Structure 1
């Protein structure tokens, strides 16, 4: 059975020993040896002055001048140059953890400047760097001791398994405690014990590898960032599902309800022509025909509000110009050079942001005109809606700005608002837009 989700869950499975779990654990342990050995040697050398000083304290011997110098130098070397080793070491460990844990372990480091001094300044100011240094100390002090004890148990088990071939030879006898094995027959109990220890070592290797992997995930992972990314991805999935449902409703209304209503309106019109004007049915029939035509207008506006056809066919600039033409206020639309067509999700978000902002201008701003600017700034699509109204827009006032900000954030963008008392009001939407 492959490791599922987390090493500990695989370790607790009843089929662990017959799965790939023990082999993955052994591979994880073996690949750690060439890394932990040099790190352990350097860490032990730097820790030697401190260990020596602490060992003398019970005898009442305080560190003298020379010892204090060694302790200070080791601390400076560890804190000053340790991060330069810990950062690439953490990169290797995040990749190596895939041997036992299939879950990705993203780096907690944000992008840093490429200039060496700026890079060092940025990295040394990050908490993730010092957590990586703490993991390097764990790898240099705890891991070698743990692996050494495990290796000793493996050697003992190998000795038990090979005891029938060693006992009673001409070179030497096998002694276990006070018991001496002089013949292969006397070694059979130790062989059986060695066979019983094999599954124990399998579980023990899994436990050691799981503990090291858990430590690596705790110290080297982007804990807060992973949670935020999961929330953002979940919110993006909800927005995608919402957009898909909007599209389905739009298709159903356009292909079904609108066509039937059009047919009904035509039938009422033909019936109205066939009925004499002085007939008792002429009045109600004319009223039904007029109401059907009004309902067609309402349904067409409803379909347009779900997703305008111009946005799908012609793109965002054309849809914004059509939106401006439908507004009761004079609205000027400006599109800067270099604007590319974004993804469908970003395009829809930008359009509905402009639609909601214009609706707020009409309802609350008391403005005489509005302006829409569409531009590109680096890898961001920038949409600005400005009006000459009274200002004082407040997201807490029920104008829909909070929901709009959530919708923008769901696609990785942000919404900025400037609305001083007396105006003007500027709504700026920045959305990711990569070529």
Structure 2
């Protein structure tokens, strides 16, 4: 708090104290009196200014927490809806077609008919269902991640990606919550690169900061760029996930110049919850 300044004017006394919230000036508490007080103004104003600053900071923190919880809940609900939609509209439909074709082929074969074409169609539908299920599973933690940690999970993810993924992973085993957050961050970024950015290769680097207090994630692609988190893309979910872990995320995505995503997540994020 800055020191209160007593500024007497003609026939009056003016005293004020700044209200500082989180290191920034929020306003001023001022008092005017017709006659000087027997008690120095700073003895009265500064404690009140301190109380007001604390109350304002608490109110802002509660509001931030409420908004953060709302974003997390909305993101979780959207993830469940998307998973249900992806399974129903993708793999499930293909499997239904496969079953119908196999039944038709069975009935046709019983009557001596040629079932070669129907079997080929059924196989095509089954293969497409398998591909779409792999896309869905990419949004779920792989077994390699659970057994061997983040590096193994990202390597498994890269192996299932239909475009080349160049990896630079220099990471030890980390807290489970941090590894999960980092894995889904990389998975979402790669999914965006494949489906939205039309990228050919993707580069992923993951390492601890120099003092080992942050995990640094970088995902770059050579796609069409123009990614904008404010449009409600998967980048919005990324930001919510990272901020829920007390981290930060930066997205640089100029049109026709690819996209670069850099996330920083505190290693002790799970201890802060």
Q: TM-score range by the shorter chain?
A: 0.5 to 0.7
Deviation string, structure 1 residues 381-432 (Cα, Å, up to 9, x no partner): 2210123x26643416786434533443344333212345664532112233
Return the alpha-carbon distance in structure 2 between the equivalents of residues 236 and 398 of structure 1.
14
Unaligned runs of 5+ in 1: 1-45, 59-70, 84-107, 111-124, 142-214
Residue 187 of structure 2 corresponds to residue 355 of structure 1: yes
The equivalent of 2:261 in structure 1 is 427
The number of residues matched between the two structures is 238
Pairing partner for 1:236 from 69, 72, 78: 72
Return the alpha-carbon distance in structure 2 between the equivalents of residues 109 and 284 of structure 1.
73
Residue 246 of structure 2 corresponds to residue 412 of structure 1: yes
Return the alpha-carbon distance in structure 2 between the equivalents of residues 401 and 140 of structure 1.
44
Residue 142 of structure 2 corresponds to residue 309 of structure 1: yes
Tell me, yes or no, if the aligned pair for 1:239 and 1:410 is still in contact at 8 Å.
no
Return the alpha-carbon distance in structure 1 between the equivalents of residues 246 and 172 of structure 2.
21
Tell me, yes or no, if the aligned pair for 1:380 and 1:433 is still in contact at 8 Å.
yes
Residue 152 of structure 2 corresponds to residue 318 of structure 1: yes
Deviation string, structure 1 residues 262-311 (Cα, Å, up to 9, x no partner): xx97xx69x95x98587238468736853663465156325404414334
Q: CA deviation at 1:332?
A: 1.5
The equivalent of 2:119 in structure 1 is 286
SS of the residue corresponding to residue 307 of structure 1 reads coil
TM value normalised by structure 1: 0.41
Return the alpha-carbon distance in structure 2 between the equivalents of residues 333 and 415 of structure 1.
20
Distance 1:130 1:220, change over 3 A: farther
Deviation string, structure 1 residues 187-245 (Cα, Å, up to 9, x no partner): xxxxxxxxxxxxxxxxxxxxxxxxxxxx98644221323311222233334445666x5
Q: Which has the larger radius of gyration?
A: 1
Residue 52 of structure 2 corresponds to residue 226 of structure 1: no
Unaligned runs of 5+ in 2: 30-40
Return the alpha-carbon distance in structure 2 between the equivalents of residues 140 and 330 of structure 1.
62
TM value normalised by structure 2: 0.59
Residue 57 of structure 2 corresponds to residue 137 of structure 1: no
Pairing partner for 1:393 from 219, 226, 232: 226
CA RMSD of aligned residues (A): 5.1
The equivalent of 1:333 in structure 2 is 167
Tell me, yes or no, if the aligned pair for 1:235 and 1:410 is still in contact at 8 Å.
no
The equivalent of 2:213 in structure 1 is 379
Tell me, yes or no, if the aligned pair for 2:214 and 2:265 is still in contact at 8 Å.
yes
Return the alpha-carbon distance in structure 2 between the equivalents of residues 140 and 406 of structure 1.
37
Distance 1:239 1:313, change over 3 A: farther
Q: CA deviation at 1:334?
A: 1.7
